[in-house]
Amino acid sequence: MRATDPSNILTAQHTAVDLAGDLNNSEWNKAPATTIERYWSGDLAPLSRQAEVRILWSVKALHVRFVCHQAEPLIISDKPETRTKTMGLWDRDVCEIFIAPDPNMVERYFEFEAAPTGEWLDVAINWTPAKRESDWAFASHMTTSAHAEKDRLTIAMRIPWNHWIHEPQKGERWRINLFRCVGKDPNRGYLAWQPTRLPQPGFHLPQVFGWLLFK
């Protein structure tokens, strides 16, 4: 994946504000918007399922906000649990970000998910062609916030810097991909910023990750 192709590069804009779940802070306007508009297959998804993503970073954390078109009923838990990570969150409506802070070891990355209910999931992954090793005990101390309204869903994540995900320097580049799961079978949508083009719906293919440039 070339680091010079503009279609493969996202920009994370630095902010002096620790947003702490603030969905509407004007600081978000400083971050360039990126659209998740294609299914994992590469086919264009309808506008009603697309999402806009903006990324900021502060001295304390990475901040990610998804603003999604929501023209269909939400697929969510009727008994959400937000105190601990929710296994199987990917089976319902969710927004996701995969991050590989070391671009030379893209097969070692971190997965973060957030749902419209505020439920969340974090996992450290070591990917090989033969298998995918998942460390479910990984604890990033991420927090989420969400707000659903007519035809619109907003979800944000705050991922604090830690031993595994270091505070970057300006000009640093990480590997990244962004995803959205929406709807239910038989018309479930698996959207990806950088499509994986796997034979079946799937997101875990680090070779296709794009780049995140910190400014």
**What is the model's pLDDT at position 166?**
96
Q: Judge whether 14 lies within some domain.
A: yes
Band of the pLDDT at 5, cuts 50, 70, 90?
A: low
- Tell me the per-residue pLDDT of 130-147, one tens digit each, with 9 for 90 and over: 899 999 999 999 999 999
Q: Is 148 helix (H, G, I), strand (E, B) or coil?
A: strand
| The predicted structure's pLDDT at residue 3 | 55
Length of the chain: 215
Classify residue 32 by its DSSP letter: P
Instruction: Give dist(CA 125, CA 127) in Å, integer.
Output: 6
**Would you state the pLDDT for residue 186?**
87
Flag whether 83 is in a domain.
Answer: no
* Rounded Cα distance, 27 and 191, in Å: 26
- 82 lies in some domain: no
Which residue type occupies 212? L
Total-model pTM: 0.95
Q: How far apart are CA 114 and CA 93, in angstroms?
A: 9
**What domain range includes position 100?**
6-76+88-214
Residue 153 counted as domain residue = yes
In a domain, 12, yes or no: yes
Q: State the Cα torsion 182-190-9-131 to the nearest 10°.
A: 130
H helix or E strand, kind and range, residue 111:
strand 108-114
Q: What is the CATH number of the domain that holds 148?
A: 2.60.40.1190
In a domain, residue 1? The reply is: no
CB atoms within 10 A of CB 152: 12
